Amino acid sequence: MSRTRTVALPKDIYRQALVSAFKKLDPRVMMKNPVMFVVEVGFVITLLLTIFPGLFGGASDALYNGVVTLILFVTILFANFAEALAEGRGKAQAASLKKTKQDTKARKVAKDGSIQVVSSTELRKGDIVVVDAGELIPSDGEITQGVASVDESAITGESAPVIKEAGGDFSSVTGGTRVVSDSIRVRVTTDPGESFLDRMISLVEGAKRQKTPNEIALGTLLVSLTLIFVIVCTTLSPIAAYVHAAIPIATLVALLVCLIPTTIGGLLSAIGIAGMDRVTQFNVIAMSGKAVEASGDINTIILDKTGTITFGNRMAAEFMPVGQATQEVLNKMAAKSSIYDETPEGRSIIELAKKLGVDAKEFELPGSEGVEFKAETRMSGTDLADGTTIRKGAVDAIKQYVASQGGSIPTDLEEKAAKIATAGGTPLAVAAGANIFGLIYLKDTVKPGMRERFEELRRMGIRTVMCTGDNPLTAATIAREAGVDDFVAEAKPEDKIALIRNEQAEGKLVAMTGDGTNDAPALAQADVGLAMNSGTIAAKEAANMVDLDSDPTKIIEVVAIGKQLLMTRGALTTFSIANDVAKYFAIIPAMFMLAIPQMSALNIMGLATPQSAILSALIFNAIIIPILIPLAMKGVKYSPMSATKLLSRNLVIYGLGGIAVPFVAIKLIDLVLVGLNLV
Ligand SMILES: Nc1ncnc2c1ncn2[C@@H]1O[C@H](COP(=O)(O)OP(=O)(O)OP(=O)(O)O)[C@@H](O)[C@H]1O
Ligand SMILES: [K+]
Ligand SMILES: [Mg+2]
């Protein structure tokens, strides 16, 4: 169902990453990563000791100092390289998007109705432009007039053109996409520099990448740990002096670097960038890393019905008279109620009426006025010149309307509406003044594969709730067919927000997917708001994610990526800290072995010499970073299971693994160093 989008990575991505790894050595840049900054300070100290072995008093081994310096330098480079590599894909993607962005000529409709040709950069919010077949749409906007097929491949990567039309939930267009057929008028909705494409570019470029609250929290923990070890290591020197064990400064630095969490410190930002990247590869634009992370902790997902769970091209399939009304009269009324209705539903009603032989002159209603569809009233209609008010809309809304006019409800209305609803259709009642004439059967189909996808969410422990403006019977049928856990019917926009707030009040994190203007407030309220690219501008602006493929179940991938991101960070933190325990056992005995021979009992690894022990631990500390880069970038494996199960599994793998791996690796490095006669 979902496909991934591949961006051609530049062939020299590794070379580019290496270059920027060197650039990132700048202390002002390094300071942003305190753990690695401490390594850099250590590097400077040992470098000075290599050049001036007697610098801090006493003699030290220049060669040993030099080797430590070299390993520290490589450690920093590896960490910088990891970050640079993670940034590479975004840069490549930004470059390809920038190619799409070009100044185009726009045909702006002036106040007097005349057409002026201007540059697209001169367009401002509220301007109206005309775009014909073959032309690029000059700016983001909403179609105010016309229907057209639009090639959106520049943004979505999908080559099949999509139909965009005025009114309803499919009216938004994106600057940089091309009209393939017909002509439309578009009301510009963004000022220059703030378009969707602009935002996409700065996002993938990482220009706006802000640390997420989780990242900041973990960062604080790492800094605290680092501080503790700085204190431990600086106080070791006097303690050692007390037992007459002179510890070389380079060894103290090596010990410090081994003990501070350099592995996670070096990989942390790469993990975050790669997580954002994975979302983009699924053709979802996340406005912030926070949104991606939040999706990893989601408890409840609220979905809109029409256009989200169903295809959303609700088409009039049948007109059903009720009470005394004849088929012929109802056909005419249905048509008259819809001549001003620019929504796809309205247009499909006109089409059906024409097909059923309603005369063309029935559509001419001089002096009449349209009443636009609103999610609040759930009605639309036409006010005729003679004062007759024709309305169509949700059955309960029309019943109330007719009752307020003093009319009565035909006895067979409920039963016929129920028939449509239990078949999963949407019944619209048609009334003129105080009389109800019949029903319009709007047909819609559930998108295939929904049941399996919702089943998958259930396994992840996530509850799905469908929230629709439609009547309870239709809602129940569609809910059953799609396999959601729960549904809310006859929901007005404020009900959708209330539903989200209630869940949030219970301490739950809520995701919402939707496409309509009426979904916008709820999309903004939700912790994760995923708007369909096909949807309205309002929906897309309110959401913190946009799915370019307009596939609501994509939320599953986003949730999985979010979980994977959190898990990867947790796993590598566990691994990193567990590692340091093993390094401690490699170095501490080595440091004191000469002064306190009894300490050699602690040399459980049987490392050859104190120097080889220290260098082996330091080398392991460095190379573990590049070894873990692929895992940091790809993320740890995620399969749907409960959070506690996942946690205990990861603790075993990365905690115990993190303790065991360095023992083996450091011993091996030690053997190699001895074998090569290097120590
Ligand atoms: N063009 C229209 N004219 C009159 N009534 C309409 C029209 N379109 C929809 N309705 C009625 O208004 C109700 C609410 O429609 P709306 O599109 O706002 O639903 P929603 O809240 O977005 O939920 P969903 O999209 O899940 O159906 C519909 O169920 C239908 O009864
Ligand atoms: K370390
Ligand atoms: Mg809707």
pLDDT digits over 453-482, tens only? 899 889 888 999 999 999 999 999 999 999
Q: How many whole angstroms from 364 Cα to the centroid of ligand 1?
A: 26
Would you tell me how many other CB atoms lie within 10 Å of the CB of residue 58? 10
Give the pLDDT confidence score for residue 627 in this predicted structure: 96
Give the pLDDT confidence score for residue 2 in this predicted structure: 42
Three state DSSP letters for 372-410: EEECCCCEEEEECCCCCEEEEEEHHHHHHHHHHCCCCCC
Residue nearest to atom 3 of ligand 1 (CA): 380
At residue 500, what is the residue type? I
Low-confidence winner among 96-105, 369-378, 494-503 (lowest mean pLDDT):
96-105
Residue nearest to atom 21 of ligand 1 (CA): 469
- For residue 204, what pLDDT band results from cuts at 50, 70 and 90? confident
569 lines ligand 1 (CB under 6 A): no
- Among the ranges 190-194, 431-435, 531-535, 635-639, which has the highest mean pLDDT value? 431-435
Per DSSP, the residues of 257-301 read HHHS-HHHHHHHHHHHHHHHHHHHHTTEEES-HHHHHHHTT--EE
In whole angstroms, what is the distance from residue 399 CA to residue 413 CA? 10
pLDDT digits (tens, 9 = 90+) for 61-95: 889 999 999 999 999 999 999 999 999 888 887 88
What ligand is nearest to the CA atom of residue 475?
A: 1
In whole angstroms, what is the distance from residue 445 CA to residue 488 CA? 19
Q: How many whole angstroms from 468 Cα to the centroid of ligand 3?
A: 7
- For residue 441, what pLDDT band results from cuts at 50, 70 and 90? very high
392 lines ligand 1 (CB under 6 A): yes
In whole angstroms, what is the distance from residue 427 CA to residue 285 CA? 36
512 lines ligand 1 (CB under 6 A): no
Pocket residue to mutate for ligand 1, from 301, 306, 382, most atoms within 8 A of Cβ: 306
What ligand is nearest to the CA atom of residue 488?
A: 1
Judged by DSSP in three states, 679 sits in: coil
Mode of pairing for the β-strands spanning 300-304 and 463-467: parallel
Contacts of 116 (CB under 8 A, 6+ apart): 107, 108, 110
470 lines ligand 1 (CB under 6 A): yes
215 lines ligand 1 (CB under 6 A): no
168 lines ligand 1 (CB under 6 A): no
Q: How many whole angstroms from 356 Cα to the centroid of ligand 1?
A: 24
Give the pLDDT confidence score for residue 10 in this predicted structure: 67
- List the catalytic residue out of 304, 527, 547, 580: 304
| Residue 397 CA, closest ligand 1 atom number | 31
Question: What does the pLDDT average to over 281-296?
Answer: 87
What ligand is nearest to the CA atom of residue 78?
A: 2
Helix/strand/coil percent split, the chain, to 5: 55, 15, 30
What ligand is nearest to the CA atom of residue 264?
A: 2
What ligand is nearest to the CA atom of residue 484?
A: 1
Residue 317 parent element (H or E): strand 315-321
In whole angstroms, what is the distance from residue 459 CA to residue 406 CA? 52
482, with CB counted inside 10 A (0-12, 13-18, 19+), is buried
Helices 554-592 and 213-242 pack at an angle, to 10 degrees, of: 0
Contacts of 302 (CB under 8 A, 6+ apart): 465, 466, 467, 496, 499, 500, 510, 511, 512, 513, 522, 526
Considering the chain, what is the average pLDDT of its residues? 89
Long-range contacts of 228-236 (CB under 8 A, 24+ apart): 229/256, 229/259, 229/260, 230/38, 230/256, 230/260, 232/259, 233/259, 236/591
64 lines ligand 1 (CB under 6 A): no
Give the pLDDT confidence score for residue 3 in this predicted structure: 46
Region of 146 (left: φ > 0; alpha: ψ -120 to 50; beta: rest) is left
305 lines ligand 1 (CB under 6 A): yes
167 lines ligand 1 (CB under 6 A): no
Q: How many whole angstroms from 285 Cα to the centroid of ligand 1?
A: 27
Give the pLDDT confidence score for residue 1 in this predicted structure: 38
pLDDT digits (tens, 9 = 90+) for 372-398: 998 889 999 999 999 999 999 999 999
Mode of pairing for the β-strands spanning 528-532 and 510-514: parallel
In whole angstroms, what is the distance from residue 91 CA to residue 80 CA? 16
Question: What does the pLDDT average to over 571-581?
Answer: 91
In sequence order, the β-bridge partners of residue 173 are 141
Contacts of 54 (CB under 8 A, 6+ apart): 60
Question: What does the pLDDT average to over 333-350?
Answer: 92
Judged by DSSP in three states, 167 sits in: coil
Question: What does the pLDDT average to over 406-425?
Answer: 94
| Whole-complex ipTM | 0.93
Low-confidence winner among 128-132, 145-149, 153-157 (lowest mean pLDDT):
153-157
Instruction: Find the largest Cα–Cα distance for the chain.
Output: 110
Residue nearest to atom 20 of ligand 1 (CA): 469
Q: How many whole angstroms from 501 Cα to the centroid of ligand 2?
A: 43
Q: How many whole angstroms from 462 Cα to the centroid of ligand 1?
A: 27
Mode of pairing for the β-strands spanning 369-374 and 379-383: antiparallel
Question: What does the pLDDT average to over 213-241?
Answer: 88
Listed by start position, the domains of the chain span 11-92+204-280+559-676, 124-191, 296-309+447-548, 313-445
Long-range contacts of 526-532 (CB under 8 A, 24+ apart): 526/302, 526/500, 527/291, 527/294, 527/298, 528/291, 528/294, 528/295, 528/298, 528/555, 528/558, 529/291, 530/284, 530/554, 530/555, 530/558, 532/307, 532/308
In whole angstroms, what is the distance from residue 607 CA to residue 611 CA? 9
7 pLDDT exceeds 60? no
Give the pLDDT confidence score for residue 467 in this predicted structure: 93
Question: What does the pLDDT average to over 417-444?
Answer: 95
| Residue 345 CA, closest ligand 1 atom number | 1
How far from 30 is each of 40, 181, 447, CA to CA, in Å?
8, 53, 50
Residue nearest to atom 26 of ligand 1 (CA): 305
Residue 304 annotated among the catalytic residues of the structure: yes
Chain centre distance of CA 289: 7
Task: Evaluate whether 523 touches 542 at the Cβ level (below 8 Å).
Answer: yes
> Where would I find the beta strands (DSSP E) of 46-183?
105-109, 115-119, 128-131, 141-145, 147-151, 162-165, 172-173, 178-181
**CA-closest candidate to residue 137, choices 169, 94, 113, 172:** 172
Region of 126 (left: φ > 0; alpha: ψ -120 to 50; beta: rest) is left
- For residue 4, what pLDDT band results from cuts at 50, 70 and 90? low
443 lines ligand 1 (CB under 6 A): no
Question: What does the pLDDT average to over 14-35?
Answer: 94
CA pseudo-torsion sign 495, 496, 499, 500: negative
In sequence order, the β-bridge partners of residue 108 are 116, 129
Binding-site members for Mg(2+) are: 515, 519
* CATH number, span 124-191: 2.70.150.10
Q: How many whole angstroms from 79 Cα to the centroid of ligand 2?
A: 12
Contacts of 26 (CB under 8 A, 6+ apart): none
**CA-closest candidate to residue 447, choices 316, 307, 556:** 307
In whole angstroms, what is the distance from residue 635 CA to residue 293 CA? 13
What fold does the segment set 313-445 form as a domain?
A: Calcium-transporting ATPase, cytoplasmic domain N (3.40.1110)
Place of tokens 């509220």: 126
In whole angstroms, what is the distance from residue 586 CA to residue 656 CA? 17
- Among the ranges 173-187, 238-252, 603-617, which has the highest mean pLDDT value? 173-187
* DSSP conformation class of 134: T
Task: Evaluate whether 176 touches 100 at the Cβ level (below 8 Å).
Answer: yes
Contacts of 612 (CB under 8 A, 6+ apart): 670, 673, 674, 678, 679
In whole angstroms, what is the distance from residue 605 CA to residue 489 CA? 67
379 lines ligand 1 (CB under 6 A): yes
Give the pLDDT confidence score for residue 492 in this predicted structure: 87
Higher confidence at residue 480 or residue 342?
480
- Number of H helices and E strands in the chain, helices first, is 23, 22
Three state DSSP letters for 186-220: EEECCCCCCCHHHHHHHHHHCCCCCCCHHHHHHHH
Question: What does the pLDDT average to over 284-290?
Answer: 86
560 pLDDT exceeds 90? no
Pocket residue to mutate for ligand 1, from 343, 350, 373, 380, most atoms within 8 A of Cβ: 373
Binding-site members for ATP are: 341, 345, 373-380, 392
Q: How many whole angstroms from 121 Cα to the centroid of ligand 3?
A: 33
Residue 51 parent element (H or E): helix 34-51
Which CATH class, in words, describes the domain spanning 296-309+447-548? alpha beta
Judged by DSSP in three states, 529 sits in: strand
393 lines ligand 1 (CB under 6 A): yes
Residue nearest to atom 14 of ligand 1 (CA): 469
Residue 513 parent element (H or E): strand 510-514
Give the pLDDT confidence score for residue 309 in this predicted structure: 86
| Residue 343 CA, closest ligand 1 atom number | 1
